[in-house]
């Protein structure tokens, strides 16, 4: 089972909201970097909660680009002209799709955080593993997660999350305010550190609503099905890696 504690759920909710809020940052490429940073903070704090002392960079495939700086910089230069052309249209479309994007980003954070909790509890991504092996294992976990989400009808989860948060006014604005403080945040920083007490209260209220919504029999069954699909995918990938 994944960690369903209030602190774990709040972390997933906050980082999902930050990732969604980053879509509206009016600077090309910075928006993508901030989305990745939001997921990195979730991964980093989850690792720490499970006693893993290594840097989240060792498991970078879990939350972002694993191709390295050189390839990333080359892609930046190649895609910059196209990015600048389509950027205004992408932002307008993003505002139109706000509710859908929010549900999608929150679903990813909730399920990724849950999957990471489960694999860490099972002893995977051990601190005794070499950095190369950690990276390879993180890549398999990420691919298993992507395969599981692609093979799961996410409409139920997204609808439940949207309904749960609809009555908590001001959450997206609170996320935008929190987003300002994460760009240069250190490893394992609290993503809500710069928030006012009022904004933190909104985050806590939202997390409580999400936890309650996920505790229904229907949602417990959904999450358990997702766990099984994820586990099956990861088992296949582990077997392929062992056979090489």
Cβ–Cβ < 8 Å for 198, 152: no
pLDDT value, residue 20: 81
Q: How far apart are CA 120 and CA 44, in angstroms?
A: 12
| Secondary structure in 3-state letters for 184-195 | CCCCCCCCCCCC
Q: How far apart are CA 90 and CA 202, in angstroms?
A: 29
Q: How far apart are CA 136 and CA 62, in angstroms?
A: 10
pLDDT tens digits along 170-198: 877 777 787 777 877 888 888 877 778 89
Q: How far apart are CA 101 and CA 22, in angstroms?
A: 11
Residue closest to 170 by CA, chosen among 122, 203, 145: 203
Higher pLDDT, 27 or 96: 27
Q: What's the pTM?
A: 0.82
pLDDT tens digits along 70-96: 344 444 444 445 444 444 544 443 433
Domain range summary for the chain, segments of one domain joined by +: 6-243
């Amino acid at each position: 089972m994944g960690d369903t504690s209030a602190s774990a759920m709040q972390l997933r909710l906050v980082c999902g909201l930050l990732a969604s809020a980053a879509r509206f940052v009016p600077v090309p490429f910075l928006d993508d970097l901030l989305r990745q940073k939001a997921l990195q903070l979730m991964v980093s704090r989850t690792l720490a909660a499970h006693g893993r002392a290594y840097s989240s960079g060792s498991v970078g495939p879990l939350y972002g680009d694993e191709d390295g700086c050189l390839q990333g910089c080359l892609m930046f230069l190649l895609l910059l002209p196209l990015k600048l052309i389509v950027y205004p249209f992408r932002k307008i479309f993003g505002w139109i799709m706000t509710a859908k994007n929010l549900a999608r980003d929150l679903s990813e954070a909730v399920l990724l955080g849950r999957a990471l909790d489960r694999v860490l509890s099972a002893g995977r991504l051990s601190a005794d593993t070499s950095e190369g092996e950690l990276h390879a294992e993180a890549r398999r976990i990420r691919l298993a997660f992507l395969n599981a989400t692609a093979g799961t009808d996410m409409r139920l989860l997204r609808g439940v999350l949207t309904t749960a948060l609809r009555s908590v006014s001001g959450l997206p604005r609170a996320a935008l305010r929190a987003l300002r403080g994460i760009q240069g945040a250190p490893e394992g920083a609290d993503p809500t550190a710069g928030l006012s007490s009022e904004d933190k209260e909104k985050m806590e209220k939202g997390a409580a609503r999400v936890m309650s919504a996920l505790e229904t029999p229907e949602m417990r069954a959904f999450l358990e099905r997702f766990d099984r699909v994820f586990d099956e995918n990861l088992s296949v990938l582990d077997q392929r890696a062992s056979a090489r």
